[in-house]
Amino acid sequence: MDIVIRPVEPAEYDTLGELTAQAYLQDGLLDFGESDEYLGELRDVAKRALAAEVLVAVQDGRLLGGVTFVPAGGPMADIARPGEAEIRMLAVDRAARGRGAGEALVRACVDRARAAEGCVRIVLSTQRTMHGAHRIYERLGFVRTPERDWNPVPHLDDITLLTYELTL
């Protein structure tokens, strides 16, 4: 059966939040592990859903992963400028990786950005070690924008996030 991409349902908020948190924890993406402040943000799907569009990948009734699509001008944007949409918090359950869920989620965000009036670009931030995600972005035509790389925790030099963009 094919992977279906659709908006998250309120009954799935906790499941997606935990899936996202575990994906980041298991991949070693949180510098402070279980005590990392960002873990609460990853788990808080209800909060994201109020400010952005949260999409899920589902196959045979099972939640495989999710992503947050921030439309141009959305309050959850970290790096988006006027006319840019942003992708945030892409996560796929470790057991479901390699099936195309991550790529399907990114494609859905690109489609939404292309359909949005006045949106000329889609941007995202990623960690250096997210090599699987980097391959997806590059395969879909995203290019690195090192001039936009940034650090969400300025007092820690080793947390610089890499940035990518796709001109629509």
pLDDT computed for residue 1 by the predictor: 65
Query: Whole-prediction pTM value?
Result: 0.94
Q: What is the pLDDT of residue 153?
A: 74
Q: What is the pLDDT of residues 45-67, one digit of tens each?
A: 999 999 999 999 999 999 999 99
Per the CB < 8 A criterion, the answer to whether 54 and 68 are in contact is yes
**Beta strands at 121-126 and 84-92: parallel, antiparallel or unpaired:** parallel
The fourth-level CATH superfamily of domain 4-167 is Gcn5-related N-acetyltransferase (GNAT) (3.40.630.30)
| 153-165: average pLDDT | 80
In three-state secondary structure terms, 115 is helix
Question: pLDDT, tens digit, for every residue of 28-43?
Answer: 888 777 888 889 999 9
